Structure 1
Amino acid sequence: MNGDVAIFASQIPAALIDSAEHLLLTERAVLERAVIDAAPDGILLVKRDGSILMANAAMEAISGHSKAQLVGQSINIFLPPHMRGRHDQMMSGFFAHPSRRAMGMVGNLQLHRCDGATVPVDIALGHCHMGNEPCAVVFLRDVSGVRRLEQQMQYQATHDALTGLANRWQFMQQLMYAMAQSARRQRAMALLLLDLDDFKAINDGHGHAAGDQVLVETARRIRSVLRAGDVLARLGGDEFTVLLPEISHPSDVDLVAQKVLAALSAPIRVHDYEVQSGASIGVACFPADANDTETLMRYADMAMYQAKAAGRNTYAVYQSEMGQRLEERIVLHDRLKVAMKEGHLRLHYQPQVNVRSGEVCSVEALLRWHDPVLGDVAPDRFIPVAESTGLILPLGDWVLETACRQQAEWAAQGLHIQVAINLSARQFRQPRLCERLADLLAQTGVQPQSIELEITESEAMADPEQAAGLLGRLADLGVRLALDDFGTGHSSLSYLKVLPIQRIKIDREFVRDLRRDAVRGR
């Protein structure tokens, strides 16, 4: 049988065998070419002289050249002219000592397309022989997507996602660089630390989405008044910072701070309502105040708290004595939190007497604090600390609830007397103030007309329309309303017709010398 096969094979014409072998080789070449063209990476076969022998379909897409245009061209067409000489040397070295090189060995390689654009690429190298001629096999990968992802990750790592401003890490890098440059040039620079006033009230009252809108608008407004070389960053929360890398005179800093405050003074519209959120700014300068970033930031922070203590919506420049005041504020803040937790706060009730009948007609609830460590702490010491740190809201709520419960207790004993309660500015602007008061009245059983709420003239006149609306809703609950410190602001008597108040308390400055002025005939 095997002999028959051998005889049969010997009878096949040689031409037919050659044709079959050629067909097989052709099919193999077609298959290999299909595989090469299906590869996602560009593939080039390059001769020792740098001319291209073969290019695949992916190489067409990457370079913009057709395969026919690439074959016979020098591989240097993908490089800018200034790099071609060095590349020829590198290619000679490769052919002298051919070796495989994997992807990821080059840093930032750009391929020049036929339309003049550049494409970031990575390359791997192999080697083979075409006949007796050595060739380099070049694999090119378009890494545009990878580079975009890297840039996106770099941006996210150095910028605030909400506002697009530099974040804390990026700002500290810029601050260190700016200080080094200022020292080298012997020029001054300034740091402004900015904290929004009452931002927590916006978040609590209107929601975090509204708070985010306020932060975005704040960033836009600040950026609009800064110079081209100034740096704005969001450190986190409602805290921003401005770097003035070069100042010629201290008045430059004053001007920028005033511009920022003016830009933030207008209400911010959120959906169908407006919110007011000014800012407190602290300023520290290099090298006058500090010579390192940490100290400069700390001093700007001290100055910012000084601005808050001064009434907010203003700025303060660091002074050496601020350190001592800040230390006292830190102690007061810590002890005040302990006092609220452990019950060291008390309400004293100051009688208000009818001068005609001599009868006590009402009492005013006054907050007093005796601390086991600090002793008696005057309100003008701890109230500003509470206002600047946000403790004023839970503190004010405690006063409101305690006074209501005391009035209910007196009423149960047959003593029907009105209790006057002071509302802080932040408490007055709380969106749920009416609901909270209604709950307290229901819980304690206090008659609404037995409670009088006092707000200062400056609080009411900050936004008369908003104040009138809120006071109207409070009046609907049945409580009495009083305007305190009248005459210290800039309101006119015409506003008394708009505000639903039952009593005004004239500031003491108007009555202090009343008897003496009467004697003098004034």
Structure 2
Amino acid sequence: MIDQATISAVVVGIIVLSIIAMAGAAHTIGLIVFKRNERSRGWQFLFAATLLFIGAYIAFGLDLYWRGFSVHDILSSLIMLGGSFFGLLLSRHSLESIDGLISFGKVANYNALHDDLTGLPNRVAFRSEMSQILAHARDESHHFAVLVADLNGFKGVNDTLGHFVGDGVLEELSRRFKTVLRSDDFVARWGGDEFAFILPLTDRIGAEEVAEKLISTTDDYFCVEEHEISIGISMGLAMFPLHADDGGELLRMADTALYAAKAKAGSNVALYDPASDDNATQRLMMNKNLQLALARDELELFYQPIINMQTQRVTSVEALLRWHHPDLGLLNPDEFMRLAEMSGLIRQVTRWTMDQAARQLRLWRMRGLNLDVSINLSISDIQDLNVTAQLRNVLDRLNLEPGALTLEVTETSMMTDPNKALESLQRLDKMGAMIAIDDFGTGFASLSYLRR
């Protein structure tokens, strides 16, 4: 026979086990109740089945007690009841595991459709959104616009200040975009420093207004890691159904318009023009060849002597850039520099020119030739506030003083965006760089502007 003390100890233990198990069951029920809105009908069924399961076991134990069953039988039923609660406790962990899988699936799906850096939708999400908006526009005969944007001067930021600073600029710019876009507008980071926009229910005038607002987001400096960075933005615009009724064609046409926008100085937007498609293939081929020219060392500097007429001696030289094109022969800058500006390669070309001219100057000095060397800056260069850091990096690396190279800028390049040009020139002057104004008097600049 089992004595009374043993029975009491067992009963106490089972009561404790039951309390623990019931607490686990309560947690499980709460988990199901409070999260049932996130679940399907299957989860609601599990909630009801759990309540019936617990009620049936409690009723079973009470029934045994009222019938006068022995302590052994009652203990057996309570153990079964505790086992059922223990099973529910395990099910609680199973539910949490399922929650984890659901959360992981949501995160994975989000990451697949969004850019890691900016949090904006990526090109996969853009194409999906394009398909939906395109189908709706066709059904309802609505208009919408597609914008493609590319930053001006961004590569120079990465090259001179590092990708960490460049990433900071992209993050801040993405936040600024959201402040000017309408609630139904869609923006995605297309890759690198390119962005794409869909503007639903928009005509040409409305699309251009939104584009101007987007351009205005680059008016203020981007402050990253104590650097004040100025960049511009160019945009290409294509309209549905005016220009195309296919998503892929709209993107291509917006991209073609983007090239036309980049051909102009400063930040601007260009509407797609069928005439601009005429030389698209040739332009793309030349762009590819220019990239290869930098890698294959096909560029060369020729040095034109500058003579002091009083002493009849060569006092300085001007570095003139030429491209040894494998098929077209020797090309002058007029034949490829505009392409370099449009494609964003201008910074690489300028950096190469600075580096080569500085190396040649250092070599001449080592041989006892005391000559000054001047190089030409393009319109894009003079509008780029980072050109100062670019020049400083080249001269520091070769142990040359700030005024070792003379920078020639044309009057036209200064007057394209006078305020930004003035700020860029002031930075160069503060650094100690030598600046020469080329072709002064051929445009609309005045002597008062020159004094500034």
> Structure 1-normalised TM-score?
0.66
Deviations 1:291-318 (A, max 9, x none): 3333332222222222222235112222
Aligned pair partner of 1:471 in 404, 429, 433: 429
Contact 1:63 1:111 in 2 (8 A): no
The answer for the alignment partner of 2:395 in structure 1 is 437
Which residue identity does 2:420 align to in structure 1?
A
Provide the residue aligned with 1:398 in structure 2: 352
In structure 2, the residue matched to 1:193 is 148
Q: Which residue of 1 aligns with 2:420?
A: 462
- Map 1:163-174 → 2, pairs under 5 A: 163-174=118-129
Q: Distance in 2 between matches of 1:329 and 1:203?
A: 26
2:212 match: 258
Quick check: 2:187–2:198 contact (8 Å CA) kept in 1?
A: yes
CA 1:293–1:123 in structure 2 vs 1: closer, same or farther (change >3 Å)? farther
Q: What SS does the aligned partner of 1:453 have? A: strand
2:40 maps to 1:61: no
1:345-383, Cα deviation, whole Å (9 max, x unpaired): 333344556688987664432212232312343423311
Task: Give the one of 174, 178, 181 matched to 1:223.
Answer: 178
The structure richer in strand per residue is 1
Cross-structure match for 2:197: 242
Q: Secondary structure at the match of 1:397?
A: helix
Shift of 1:230: 0.7
Check conservation: 1:434, 1:474, Cα contact below 8 A: no
Contact 2:358/2:395 (8 A) holds in 1: no
Q: How far is the alpha carbon of 1:177 from its aligned partner?
A: 0.9
Note if contact 1:190-1:283 (Cα within 8 Å) is conserved in structure 2.
yes
Seq. identity, %: 34
Determine the C-alpha separation between the residues in 1 that align with 2:320 and 2:161: 31
Residue type at the aligned position of 2:386: R
Q: Are 1:282 and 2:239 matched, yes or no?
A: no
Tell me if the contact between 1:78 and 1:111 (Cα under 8 Å) persists in the aligned partners: no
Between 400-409 and 332-341, report the one with greater CA deviation.
Answer: 400-409
1:420 alignment counterpart: 374
Larger relative contact order (Cα-Cα within 8 Å, sequence gap ≥ 6): 2
- Given that residues 441 and 448 in structure 1 are in contact (C-alpha distance below 8 angstroms), is that contact kept between their aligned partners in structure 2? no
> Aligned-pair distance for 1:203?
2.2
Supply the distance in 1 between the matched residues of 2:357 and 2:40 (Cα, whole angstroms).
Answer: 71
d(CA) in 2 for partners of 1:355 and 1:461?
A: 36
In structure 2, runs of 5+ residues without a counterpart are 65-80
CA distance in structure 1 between the partners assigned to 2:312 and 2:165 by the alignment: 52
Question: Residue 37 of structure 1: CA displacement?
Answer: 4.9
Amino acid at match of 1:377: L
Q: Deviations over 1:75-124 (max 9, x none)?
A: 9x9999xx9xxxxxxxxxxxxxxxxxxxxxx8465669xxxxxxx98988
Change (3 A) 1:492 1:270: farther
Note the C-alpha offset of 1:219.
1.1
Instruction: Write the distance in 2 (CA, Å) between the matches of 1:438 and 1:386.
Output: 26
1:269 matched to 2:223: yes
* Aligned-pair CA distance for 1:399: 2.5
Instruction: Assess, with a 3 A threshold, how the Cα gap between structure 1 residues 35 and 194 changes in structure 2: closer, same or farther.
Output: farther
Structure showing greater radius of gyration is 1
Matched residue type, 2:27: A
Residue in structure 2 matched with residue 212 of structure 1 by the alignment: 167
One-letter identity of the residue aligned with 1:255: E
1:26 Cα deviation after fit: 7.2
Superimposed CA distance per residue, residues 481-522 of structure 1 (whole angstroms, 9 cap, x where no aligned partner)? 212354678866455445xxxxxxxxxxxxxxxxxxxxxxxx
Q: What 5-or-longer segments of structure 1 have no aligned partner?
A: 1-16, 40-55, 66-74, 84-105, 113-119, 499-522
The AA in structure 2 aligned to 1:159 is: H
1:266, 1:378 → 2: CA distance?
Answer: 36
**Whole-angstrom CA distance in 2 between matches of 1:370 and 1:293:** 39
